[in-house]
Amino acid sequence: MENKALELDKKDPLAHFRSRFYIPENTIYVDGNSLGLLSVNAEKSLLRVLDEWKSLGIKGWLQGERPWFYFAEQIGEMAADLVGAGPGELIFTGTTTVNIHALVSTFYQPQGKRTKILADELNFPSDMYALQGQIRQKGLDPKKELLLTPSHDGYNLDEDTIVSMMTDDVALVYLPSVLYASGQLLDMARLTQEAHKRNIPIGFDCSHSAGAIPHQFSQWGVDFATFCSYKYLNGGPGCTAFLYVNQKHFDREPMTPGWFGFVKEKQFDMLPEFEHARHAGGWQISSPGVLGASTMEGSLQIINEAGIDAIREKSLRMTTFLKHLIREMLPGDHGGFTIITPEEDLCRGGHLALAHPEIALRVNEALKARGIVPDFRAPDIIRIAPVALYNTYHEIHQVATALKEILESKEYLQYENQRKPIS
Ligand X SMILES: *Cc1c(COP(=O)(O)O)cnc(C)c1O
Asked if 395 and 12 touch (Cβ cutoff 8 Å), the reply is no
- Candidates 110, 93, 276; CA nearest to 201 is 110
Query: Segment contacting ligand X (CB under 6 A): 24-32, 122-130, 264-272, 343-351?
Result: 122-130
Q: Which is nearer to ligand X, 237 or 332 (CB)?
A: 237
Shortest spacing between CB 184 and ligand X, in angstroms: 13
Of 39, 41, 45, 97, the one binding ligand X by CB under 6 A? 97
Of 124, 244, 260, 390, the one binding ligand X by CB under 6 A? 124
- Cα separation values, 381 from 32, 158, 326, 337, Å: 16, 20, 15, 9
Shortest spacing between CB 3 and ligand X, in angstroms: 36
Shortest spacing between CB 289 and ligand X, in angstroms: 13
Query: Segment contacting ligand X (CB under 6 A): 124-132, 299-307, 339-347, 401-409?
Result: 124-132
Q: Which is nearer to ligand X, 56 or 148 (CB)?
A: 148
Of 126, 193, 247, 320, the one binding ligand X by CB under 6 A? 126
Q: Give dist(CA 228, CA 218) in Å, integer.
A: 19
x-or-dash string of contact with ligand X, 218-247, rule CB under 6 A: ----------x-------------------
**Residues in 160-219 that interact with ligand X by CB under 6 A:** 176, 180, 205, 207-208
Query: Segment contacting ligand X (CB under 6 A): 42-50, 121-129, 136-144, 370-378?
Result: 121-129
Assess 334 for contact with ligand X (CB under 6 A). no
Q: Which residues contact 293 (CB under 8 A, 6 or more apart)?
A: 71, 72, 75, 92, 235, 239, 240
Count, residues in the chain: 423
Shortest spacing between CB 235 and ligand X, in angstroms: 11
Q: Which is nearer to ligand X, 180 or 390 (CB)?
A: 180
Q: Which is nearer to ligand X, 227 or 337 (CB)?
A: 227
End-to-end Cα separation, the chain, in angstroms: 30
Task: Give the interface size with ligand X as a residue count (CB under 6 A).
Answer: 12
Q: Which residues contact 420 (CB under 8 A, 6 or more apart)?
A: none
Shortest spacing between CB 48 and ligand X, in angstroms: 25
Of 96, 105, 284, 391, the one binding ligand X by CB under 6 A? 96
Q: Which is nearer to ligand X, 97 or 192 (CB)?
A: 97
What count of other Cβ atoms lies within 10 Å of the Cβ of residue 323? 18
Shortest spacing between CB 205 and ligand X, in angstroms: 4
Q: Give dist(CA 143, CA 152) in Å, integer.
A: 21
Q: Which is nearer to ligand X, 100 or 406 (CB)?
A: 100
Q: Which is nearer to ligand X, 17 or 174 (CB)?
A: 174
Shortest spacing between CB 409 and ligand X, in angstroms: 34
x-or-dash string of contact with ligand X, 300-329, rule CB under 6 A: ------------------------------
Q: Which is nearer to ligand X, 185 or 359 (CB)?
A: 185
- Cα separation values, 77 from 63, 169, 244, 267, Å: 19, 36, 11, 21
- The CA angle 31-333-338, to the nearest 5 degrees, is 35
Q: Which residues contact 248 (CB under 8 A, 6 or more apart)?
A: none
Q: Give dist(CA 298, CA 68) in Å, integer.
A: 15
Q: Which is nearer to ligand X, 103 or 366 (CB)?
A: 103
Shortest spacing between CB 176 and ligand X, in angstroms: 5
Shortest spacing between CB 400 and ligand X, in angstroms: 26
Q: Give dist(CA 223, CA 409) in Å, integer.
A: 52
Asked if 234 and 39 touch (Cβ cutoff 8 Å), the reply is yes
- Candidates 235, 213, 179, 106; CA nearest to 381 is 179
Asked if 229 and 242 touch (Cβ cutoff 8 Å), the reply is yes
Provide the angle, in degrees to the nearest 10, between the axes of the packed helices 40-56 and 295-306.
150
Q: Give dist(CA 111, CA 92) in Å, integer.
A: 31
Q: Which is nearer to ligand X, 39 or 95 (CB)?
A: 95
Q: Which residues bind ligand X (CB under 6 A)?
A: 95-97, 124, 126-127, 176, 180, 205, 207-208, 228
